[in-house]
Each structure stands twice: as C-alpha cells, then as structure tokens.
C-alpha cells in the first residue's frame, strides 16, 4: 500500500513538473538540440490542452525518443546522415504523440504541423 501511494505521488509530481515546464517559455540560453526540441514541441502543442494522463504518455514517448537522438556538437551543423536520422525519429515520435490525442486535438496538431513545416527554410 505504501508503495502504491509513493508511486502515485511520484506520478503527480512528474505530471505537475512537466506541465509547468511545458508552460514556461524556452530558455534563450539553451542552444542545440534540446532548445530546438522544446521550441518545436511548444509550437506543435500550441492551443492544445492535455489531460494529466495524456501528458504522462507524451512525456514517456519523448523520453524514449530523446535517448535515441544522435549527439552532435552544439554550434556546428549535423551531417546529412544525422539530419536524416533526426527527421525519422521526429516523424515517428510525432506519429506516436498524435495517436495519444483526441480527434479535436489531432485537428489542431495537424494545423500546427502544417504551420511549422511552412516556416521551415526552403519550404516555399
């Protein structure tokens, strides 16, 4: 019983902390992939309110894919193979995240994805 209570408390703290982080603007001083990934997620979740259960699932998905992202030197552009791997991982992550969303949330997500792609350099 104590273990169950402890696990519930840990889950609540994790969800609360992730919700607080999701609401705070990205740090200008956070260069590299982490800063990019956070700005990207904020753009994708614009106008979407997640339930705690959805947030927990999405945090799990992001953590799993975050460990698979290739490392590269901040300030230098990754090579084409690294960029291709990152695009593939982001695409798979996005598909899994979209599956967690409700139908109405998916419509907003799809609009946000289209806006993000339209802002990408070379997309015109």
pLDDT above 50 for 27: no
State residue 76's pLDDT score: 84
Is residue 83 included in any domain, yes or no?
yes
State residue 13's pLDDT score: 60
Domain that holds residue 50: 2-119
Is residue 78 included in any domain, yes or no?
yes
For the question of whether the overall pTM of this predicted structure is more than 0.75, the answer is no
Do the beta carbons of residue 75 and residue 31 sit within 8 Å?
yes
Do the beta carbons of residue 116 and residue 43 sit within 8 Å?
yes
pLDDT above 70 for 18: no
Pairwise CA distance, residues 99 & 58, whole Å: 10
CA torsion angle 59 61 62 64 (round to 10): 120
Is residue 72 included in any domain, yes or no?
yes
Is residue 124 included in any domain, yes or no?
no
Quickly state the pLDDT bin for 25 (edges 50, 70, 90): very low
- Work out whether the CA dihedral 36, 41, 42, 46 comes out positive or negative: positive
**Domain tally, the chain:** 1
Supply the DSSP symbol for 123: -
Report the mean per-residue pLDDT for the chain.
Answer: 80
pLDDT (tens digit per residue) in 29-54: 334 445 778 898 999 999 999 999 99
Is residue 49 included in any domain, yes or no?
yes
Is residue 45 included in any domain, yes or no?
yes
């Amino acid at each position: 019983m104590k273990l169950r209570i402890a696990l519930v408390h840990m889950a609540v703290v994790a969800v609360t902390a992730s919700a607080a982080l999701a609401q705070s603007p990205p740090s200008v001083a956070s260069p590299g992939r982490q800063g990019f990934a956070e700005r990207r997620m904020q753009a994708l979740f614009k106008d979407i309110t997640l339930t705690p259960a959805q947030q927990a699932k999405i945090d799990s998905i992001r953590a799993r894919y975050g460990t698979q992202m290739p490392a590269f030197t901040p300030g230098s552009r990754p090579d084409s193979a690294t960029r291709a791997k990152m695009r593939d991982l982001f695409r798979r992550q996005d598909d899994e995240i979209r599956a967690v969303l409700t139908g109405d949330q998916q419509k907003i997500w799809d609009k946000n994805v289209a806006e993000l792609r339209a802002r990408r350099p070379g997309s015109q």
